[in-house]
Each structure stands twice: as C-alpha cells, then as structure tokens.
Amino acid sequence: MTHVPIGIDLGTTNSLVAAFIDGEPKLIPNALGNYLTPSVVSIENNELLVGQAARERLLTHPKNTAAVFKRKMGTDASLRLGGVAYSPEDLSSLVLAKLRQDAEAYLGCEIRDVVVSVPAYFNQTQRQATKNACALAGLNLVRLVNEPTAAALAYGVHQRDAETQFLVVDLGGGTFDVTILEMFDGVMEVKASSGDAFLGGEDFTEVLAKLICEKLDFPWAKLGANLQSEIRARANTAKIRLSDDDAWTVSLQIKNEMHEIVLSRQAFEEAAKPILRRMLVPIERCMYDTGLDHHALDRILLVGGATRMPMVRHMVTRCFSKFPEFEIDPDHAVALGAAVQAALASEDRALDDIVVTDVSPFSVGIDVSEELPDGKCVHGLFAPIIERNTPLPASRNEVFYARNARQRSVSTKIYQGESAYVSENVLLGKFRVKLPRKLDEAECVDLLITYDTSGLLEVEATVLSTGEKTGMVIEALADGLSEQDVAARLEKMKALKVHPRDNEVNQALLSRLRRVHEMALGNTRSQILTMIAQFDAVLNGRDPKEIERVRGELEEILDAFDDLYVS
C-alpha cells in the first residue's frame, strides 16, 4: 500500500491538510474544492455536518452548531449539540476525520499516520487533548509539531543553504505564538517560543462585535443566541474588509427594522489597542530568552489569517524595523510545514539534508516549600526541573529523600508554567511512589521527567535501593484516554449520520440558501424560498448533471447577494 505522509493544521477557525508528494508539500482540497475547511461542526437529529455546510448553520442553527472549540481543548467544557454533550476533543476528532476523508479521496489510499500542528504555547493538557482527538478520529499521531516551527519549515524547505535568524509571528483564530529560529546548513533550530493560548483573530472580532452593539445601543449580554451569532458573523466580515478598506458598513435587521452601522478602520484600531499591547508580551519574552537584539533578526514571517490586519503588520514592522515577508499564504504555511514534518518523520529521502529541533514550551517542575531565616516556612513555591525553551527531547531528574524510616511513600505534584507560585501554574498530576517496608533512612526516589519531541511529558520514578521503577506517563493524570474511553466515545459518535462525500457540496449550498433566506426580507426572501424549493426538487430528481447545473446557477445568484450584504 502506498504510504503518503500527511500533515494537518487543526486551526481554531479553519483546518487544512497537506501531503508530501514528489519532494514537495502540497495542499489537499476538500470536496468543495477549497483548501480551508472551517473548523465548525453542526449536529441535528443525529445528522452530522462538518466544514462549510456547518459554518453556514452558525446563523440558522446556533444551538446545534459549534465553532472555535480549539480554544477549549484540554478543559472539561462540554457543548450540547442535538441534545448530546460533546467535548472539544470529540468535536476536533470530527474535523480530523473529515480532513482524513478528504485526503483519502484525493490521494486514493488509506491514511493512518499524521503529524498535527499545535500552537507552540499549548500546554500538556491541550497537547494531550489534541492527541486524544487523533485517537478518536482513528489516526495514529506520529508527532505534534509547533505551528510556527511548521511555518518556518514550509519556508526553509525551499532555502536549505541559507543562514538566517528568523522570527515567526503566528496570529491564528484563537492563539498567538512567537518563535525565533536559526537556520544553517539545512539545520533548523528553534531557539525560543512564547505565546498566548487565548489571544487570536476571534478577539479582534469580539472587539468589533462590541463596537457594533455600542453603536446600536444594545447591551451584548441581552441579545439572544441568534442575534449574537449574526452580529459576530457581521463583525468577522467587517474585520476582514477593514484589512483592505478604511471603512465598512454593516447592515443588520433587528425586529423587522434595518440598521446601518459604519465602522472605520481607525475606530477599530483604537478599540483593539489593548489586544495589540498583549501581543508585545510574548514577543519581548522570546527576545529576552534568546538574548537577541531586535536588529539581529534577518527575516520576519507572518503566519495565520489574522496577521493580514494592517495594525498587526505595522506593529511588527515598527518593533523590528523590518518589513515582514509574505511569499507563502499565511493560511497555508502551517499545513505545508506539517506535511514536511510528516515526511521527515517517515525519513523521506528528499529531505535527507534537513534537521529540525524544537524547544519545550513551558517550564515543568514541582511544588516545594522554602524555609526563611526566621524559621517560618513558605509553601506552594514552584521549583522548575526542566526550564522553558530547553531543546527537545529533554530529560532531567530530581532525587527525593525519605525523612524517616516510617515513611511509606514519597509524593509530589507536577506543574507546568512560569509563575513562582504553583497555584498560578497548571497542575499536571500528583505523583506517589510507595517505599519498601524495611526502609533505610537514606532511602530515595529518583524522579525522571522527560519532554518528548511533541512537547508531551512523561514521568518515571525509581526507588533507588530496589531499582523498582514506576513508569507513569502524565497523560494518565492529564486526561489521557484509555482504550475503553476511546471505544465508548466512538460508540457515541458512530450514531452520527455522515453525508456521503459527493453530497457535501449540495449540503453546503442548502445551508447557505437557508442562511441567506433567514437574513433577507421581502421580495429577496421569497425569491430565495423559491430557490430552496427548486434545489430540493432537483436533488430529489437525482440527476447529477442537472444538480450541478442548477447548483452553479444558484451559487451565482447567492454570490451577488453575499457581495452586497455579508460574506
């Protein structure tokens, strides 16, 4: 069987899949012919829609449709769709399964092994949740790759001989990452990564949504779910338009009354200043960790759709006195790089001369107490064992001594983060090792903490007198999935009815017709109702040629409508 390495960019807003074919990474289109598949899932009466068709339903079926769930990865949030609760991992697995299906249809072979990208600033629980989502999608995760590293790989693969220090600024839908890499003789070495896992393009959309409400004099909290969804969609369109235009008019119909709000780029930039300032924190931390001067960087790469905003580009240019580069579409770079990483993992000979090294995203350490000179003790302090930005894979050990011969076990808690207090870091798990009964007072336990190449942690303890090892993968504590868990969750998702791939274009058009119908008024509304009925009738006729012809006609009419009204 042919083996094609696959890379997936599992994004907050959109996801992409790419494959390494004939020495090149190539994007794979979905059934609609697009490279970007919206990371949106809609479920009603057990019927599942993923991607564009689901995105169209954000407005018409907001209670049965979920978006931006990547932001909740690694939390115990649950979203009810069609009366059933789904975790962010479940929903992500549905997006992954869809991308897998697209790749299999395009490449004509079965796909099992994947490299999936994650924000560099994803912690253990978020990374573990992504790994779980792969297991639920029936995929074998070969490796997680950090998004900025993947983007740099997409650039580096074409310029292997260059000697460059470059900075990657990645502002996606929900996350922000900054990475500094050095490239020489085909070696790409990540020097430092920093970021904010809760800052992205969607925050800029929220700013505009609030601006719209302010102008309408409607309190956001009092709007219903449908109106909030509609305003968010208009705000998103406005955000994208304001990247090219100085002003954009939003038309909104509320309780049969039409409202027109003019948004200027200047007002948007003013309102978004606090978010822009938050972006400076990880940039400065990354510069500090590498000890580099702002002028020492040769190239700046912008990745993620939200870096198209002029205010982001200006801020980066001002910060580094250098214009960023845009040779690769900022939406495509991560997926292309993930495919390169997948090819590297499968030892593709076309990449013999490339080596990539990455770093640990966070410090990992334990809970300690410190005795002060006056004899008082301060508890809950964080003692790092592996510091952030240590090259991966990395292992460090720490020895714990028994205090007396009666002690039956040694225990500690393991945290990830940068704060001096463990309470402000992420608790990964509690580690408890039983000690032998006949205890020598000097008994000690050696705790070995390892970051693997995916930035995932493992812990192993050895009782030194007996040599007994307790292997513990932190995943068991940080919500890893047992085989039974996977089986139970798959059972739940098996009940979902998936549309055949060749029907996906039709589903997307039907969802779009229904969205436009709900938004329109008067004559336009009845015209669209007729179009829905016409398309339904053609679908029932099951003549593929006729379906394609009518679909083309209807899409043209809808494009004209969307151009006027909303994207």
Q: Side-chain half-sphere of 498: how many Cα atoms within 13 Å?
A: 13
Judged on CB neighbours under 10 Å (0-12, 13-18, 19+), 334 is: buried
Binding span for ligand AMP by CB under 6 A among 89-97, 302-310, 380-388, 463-471: 302-310
Binding mask 326-345 for ligand AMP (x = CB under 6 A): -----x--------------
Rounded to a whole number of angstroms, the minimum distance from the CB of residue 237 to ligand AMP is 9
Which one of the spans 300-308, 376-384, 385-393, 491-499 is the region binding ligand AMP (CB under 6 A)?
Answer: 300-308
SS3 243: coil
Catalytic site residue from 9, 202, 230, 504: 9
User: What is the smallest separation between the CB atom of 209 and ligand AMP, expressed in angstroms?
Assistant: 12
Q: Return the residue of 90, 196, 202, 504 that touches ligand AMP, per CB under 6 A.
A: 202
Regarding 12 and contact with ligand AMP (CB under 6 A), the answer is yes
Tell me the CB-side half-sphere exposure of residue 520, using CA atoms within 13 A. Answer: 18
Segment contacting ligand AMP (CB under 6 A): 237-245, 248-256, 514-522, 545-553? 237-245
Least Å from the CB of residue 420 to ligand AMP: 33
Residue 341 falls in which region: left (phi positive, over 0), alpha (psi -120 to 50) or beta:
alpha
470: CB partners within 8 A, 6+ apart: 433, 460, 461, 462
Which of 505, 486, 435 has the alpha carbon at shortest distance from 465?
435
The residue range among 160-168, 188-196, 290-298, 305-313 that interacts with ligand AMP, by the rule CB under 6 A, is 305-313
Reduced 3-state DSSP string for 278-298: HHHHHHHHHHHHHCCCHHHCC
**Alpha-carbon separation of residue 418 from 32, 426, 480 (angstroms):** 44, 10, 23
Q: Which residues pair with 401 in a beta bridge?
A: 444
Quick one: which of 5, 6, 14, 35 contacts ligand AMP (CB under 6 A)?
14
Sites for ligand AMP among residues 154-173 (CB under 6 A)? 172-173
Stretch that binds ligand AMP, among 190-198, 239-247, 505-513, 532-540 (CB under 6 A): 239-247
* Residue selected from 62, 88, 195, 201 as contacting ligand AMP according to rule CB under 6 A: 201
Q: Given the complex with ligand AMP, which of 304 and 361 has the nearer CB atom? A: 304
Active site residue 147: yes
Q: Distance between CA atoms of 289 and 280, rounded to whole angstroms?
A: 14
- Active-site position among 56, 89, 90, 147: 147
Residue 146 interacts with ligand AMP (CB under 6 A): yes or no: no
User: CA-CA distance, 564 to 560, in Å (whole number)?
Assistant: 6
- Using alpha carbons only, what angle is made at residue 29 by residues 186 and 116, rounded to the nearest 5 degrees? 50
Nearest approach, Cβ of residue 271 and ligand AMP (Å): 15
Nearest alpha carbon to residue 36 among 55, 22, 20, 23: 55
Q: 3-class DSSP state for residue 386?
A: strand
Q: Which stretch binds ligand AMP (CB under 6 A): 57-65, 236-244, 442-450, 546-554?
A: 236-244
Of 176 and 320, nearer to ligand AMP (C-beta) is 176
Size of the site for ligand AMP (CB under 6 A): 18
Q: Note whether 236 binds ligand AMP by CB under 6 A.
A: yes
Q: Is 135 in the site for ligand AMP (CB under 6 A)?
A: no
How far apart, in whole angstroms, are the C-alpha atoms of residue 7 and residue 177?
19
Q: Is 358 in the site for ligand AMP (CB under 6 A)?
A: no
Can you give the C-alpha Rg of the chain in angstroms? 26
Report yes or no: 97 and 138 within 8 Å, Cβ to Cβ: yes
Q: Does 306 bind ligand AMP (CB under 6 A)?
A: yes
Cβ neighbors of 527 (< 8 A, separation 6 or more) are none
Residue 275: CB minimum distance to ligand AMP, A:
12
* Residue 13 interacts with ligand AMP (CB under 6 A): yes or no: yes
Task: Find the catalytic residue in 170, 177, 196, 230.
Answer: 170
Q: Is the CB of 299 or the CB of 308 nearer to ligand AMP?
A: 308
Q: Is 38 in the site for ligand AMP (CB under 6 A)?
A: no
Give the nearer residue to ligand AMP in terms of CB position, either 303 or 342.
Answer: 303
Nearest to ligand AMP of 170, 475 (CB atom): 170
Annotated active-site residue in 56, 70, 102, 191: 70
Place of tokens 């379906």: 547
> Which residue type occupies 441?
E
87 binds ligand AMP (CB under 6 A): no
Decide if 70 is catalytic: yes
Pairing of β 79-81 and β 41-44: unpaired
Active-site residue, 562 included:
no
Cα–Cα nearest to 134, from 486, 564, 442: 486
- Per CB under 6 A, the list member of 72, 232, 234, 239 interacting with ligand AMP is 239
Residue 273 known to be catalytic: no
Q: Is residue 11 at the binding interface for ligand AMP, with CB under 6 A as the rule?
A: yes
CB distance 374 to 382 below 8 Å: no
124 burial via Cβ count (<10 Å: 0-12, 13-18, 19+): buried
DSSP characters over 23-45: TEEEE---TTS-S-EE--EEEET
Is 243 one of the binding residues for ligand AMP (CB under 6 A)?
A: yes
Tokens linked to 85: 């609760």
Rounded distance between C-alpha atoms, residue 75 and residue 135, angstroms? 18
504 lines the binding site for ligand AMP (CB under 6 A): no
Q: Does 429 bind ligand AMP (CB under 6 A)?
A: no
Task: Give the residue closest to ligand AMP by C-beta.
Answer: 201
Catalytic residues: 9, 70, 147, 170
Catalog residues that contact ligand AMP under the rule CB under 6 A.
Answer: 11-14, 172-173, 201-202, 236, 239-240, 243, 304-306, 308-309, 331
